[in-house]
Structure 1
Amino acid sequence: MATNGTNHRFLIWGGKGWVAGHLEVLLRSQGKEVFTTTVRMEDREAVKAELDKIKPTHVLNCAGCTGRPNVDWCEDHKEETMRSNVVGTLNLTDCCYLSGIHCTVFATGCIYHYNDSHPIGGPGFKETDPANFTGSFYSETKGHVEEIMKYYTNCLILRLRMPVSDDLHPRNFVTKISKYERVVDIPNSNTILTDLLPASVLMAEHGDTGVYNFTNPGAISHNEVLSLFKEIVRPDFTWKNFTVEEQSKVIKAGRSNCLLDTTKLESKLKEYGYTVPEIHVAYRQCFERMKAAGVK
């Protein structure tokens, strides 16, 4: 696998996606050689042709099916979800492996749910803990595919959760919960993209592989997020809560709620002199950046 050096060529899969767009901007700002593609991951011949044409040293896989407007879509489109999130993800990783290309997969940590051994306020789930959340078909497929994909020696699997950008893009977790009529108030791990996307590039360039919980340290509740949002970005903002039981009546699939342990990630990034701020600090910084940019 390619390691730290200057002759890196990045190919972002799922090039028209939200996270992909942020990655492309970041890589270009760093002066990196970067390409994007929208080739379907499950089309093996097309994938091989694209890899042969671009000849990347690193593939950053941001493709996949999360459903529109949300993961409830996957409940009624199971085959399409599997074709993308299982067949496609494995196919792209396999093609990269055969060509000696490092592949970073932007995966999900929404494969866990608080339980007796990991209660709210207790220890977080480690990378070695088996997935325990199958409340949505989306999460079920993600849990299964990670179990297989982790054996590829060219593959870095980064588990994001509830990703947040410095704008109010429709895919931003904050945008989503700010538009809900009611929200549940449960602490969760979140991924602030400004903090973590540079870390993903560092890890890819160093040839890191295996599974990493890819969130800011700590957990924050929806009410804490929205309180900070109100304080810093939108002073007239109001919201209401409801219980998980009440929520279940208006959504088709269950939602994962969990804290991920970031010890492994923090330890690895320390080797590169990179630190990720704790989630409450990170949110305050994120909203300050929004305010400075005139976001309302």
Structure 2
Amino acid sequence: MKRIRSVPVRVTMRRLLVVGATGLVGSKLVKFAPNYGYEALSTHNARHPEDSKSFKLDITDGEATRMLLEEVKPEVIVNTAALHNVDYCETHQEEAHRVNVEGTANLADTASKLGSRFIYVSTDYVFDGRTGHYSESDVPNPLHYYARTKVEGEAVASKVPSYAIARPSVIYGWNPLEATGIPSSSGKTVNFAMYVLDKFGKNETVKAVNDQFSSPTFADNMAEAVLRIASFDGSGIFHTAGRSCISRYEFALKIAEVFNYPTTLVQPVSSKDFKQAAERPKNSCLSVDDTERELGVRFLTAEEGLREMKSQGGTNDPTHSIGSR
């Protein structure tokens, strides 16, 4: 009997470039991408990830951006890079516009020329917060400069032939790079959950506003939704947020309950008690029904997301996949 020799088959994975890979969502995208058939390449600016496939890039440098994208030739580009600090953007508007709008345009222009799919990570802050439970078809009405730059960024992204806009809200989860203390070029320090847990660990009181509502979004859950969007046939806006609509005070209480800290460490305060350069929406909660139906993904409530976060034990395990149905 003739023996048939098996020949290994090389499966070519599609290239996905994550712009801003040291941020919370960016780092999750890089880790989960292979599970969705993508070879993840990434860029960083101020902080360097533990990844040899990461390139240093300042997206405000149009020529450098063009050259890198033409070299990498990604099928999909996900832009998570931005100046996220709302108050900083309010007082540094020229810089915010340069990064959030012009930087996005540099990426989008080359994405169009290469025929790449372009996914732009936006924010719930594009809405004014007067009604809440916003759907993808609701018209943005930003209250502050950061949100205005994100609305402009959405407009830029939508000019790419194959585009998608993902809107999260109060993203949280484990990110070891945030814990290093190395400054991020985004202007953010640590996400709300890590900040609260750090305070609890020191037995310090957390003051949290009880009159502003949002949809806390577990980063792992969002990243997996974005990776589904990457393969989705069609362009448009997707709300990729958690299912809960709660205040920061209620969220801090849930963090205490899930991680077994005394709820007495959480103190409710009014937003009027905080000195902030930029006005925040009162209720920027997002409806995720349409996105769940389109992508076949299930977004988690705040409690579910926190329990998943707790189960990771402070790790960033790329094999731990959640939120699918």
**CA gap 1:198/1:6 in 2 versus in 1, 3 angstroms:** farther
CA 1:153/1:187 → structure 2, altered by over 3 Å: closer, same or farther? Answer: same
- Over 3 Å counting, the alpha-carbon distance change for 1:17 and 1:235 in structure 2 is closer
Residues 1:114 and 2:102 are matched in the alignment: no
1:206 corresponds, among 232, 240, 249, to 232
Task: Give the residue type in structure 1 aligned to 2:71.
Answer: K
Gaps (5+ residues) in structure 2?
Answer: 1-10, 44-55, 179-188, 200-204, 316-325
Residue in 2 that maps onto 1:128: 137
- In the alignment, which residue of structure 2 is the partner of 1:285? 307
| Residue of structure 1 equivalent to 2:76 | 58
Rounded Cα–Cα distance in structure 2 between residues aligned with 1:242 and 1:74:
24
Corresponding residue number in structure 2 for 1:163 = 171
Q: Alpha-carbon deviation of 1:112?
A: 1.5
Greater CA drift, 48-57 or 160-169: 160-169
Contact 2:240–2:288, Cα closer than 8 Å, also in 1: yes
Are the aligned partners of 1:86 and 1:141 in contact in 2 as well (CA < 8 Å)? yes
Q: Is the 8 A contact 2:172 2:218 kept in 1?
A: yes
Counterparts of 2:298 and 2:23, CA distance in 1: 26
Alpha-carbon separation, structure 2, partners of 1:84 and 1:30: 29
Whole-Å Cα distance in 2 between the matches of residues 201 and 188 of structure 1? 23
- SS, match of residue 126 in structure 2: coil
Aligned pair 1:138/2:146, yes or no?
A: yes
Question: Offset at 1:149?
Answer: 2.9
Asked if 1:46 corresponds to 2:73, the answer is: no
Structure 1: unaligned runs, 5 residues or longer: none
Deviations 1:155-180 (CA, angstroms, capped at 9, x unpaired) = 11101111011468453222345658
**Alignment partner, residue 246 of structure 1:** 273
Report how many aligned residue pairs link the two structures. Answer: 273
SS in 1 for 2:293: helix
- Residue in structure 1 matching 2:293, options 250, 263, 267: 267
SS in 2 for 1:110: helix
Change (3 A) 1:267 1:62: same
The alignment-based identity, stated in percent, is 23
Contact 2:20 / 2:81 at 8 angstroms: preserved in 1? yes
Shift of 1:224: 2.6
Structure 2 Cα separation of the partners of residues 148 and 22 of structure 1 = 25
Query: Equivalent residue of 1:12, what SS?
Result: strand
For residue 228 of structure 2, give the secondary structure of its aligned residue in structure 1: helix
Instruction: Select the residue among 194, 199, 211 that pairs with 1:175.
Output: 194
- For the Cα contact (< 8 Å) 1:166–1:289, is it kept in 2? no
Compared CA separation, residues 149 and 167, structure 1 to 2 (3 A): closer
Give per-residue Cα distances to partners, 1:207-238, cap 9 Å, x unaligned: 44211111022312223322222122142460
Once residues 193 and 53 of structure 1 are traced to their aligned partners in structure 2, the CA distance between those partners, rounded to angstroms, is: 29
- 1:35 correspondence with 2:41: yes
Is 1:184 aligned to residue 209 of structure 2?
A: yes
The separation in 2 between residues aligned to 1:176 and 1:208, in whole angstroms, is: 37
Q: Is the 8 A contact 1:232 1:291 kept in 2?
A: no
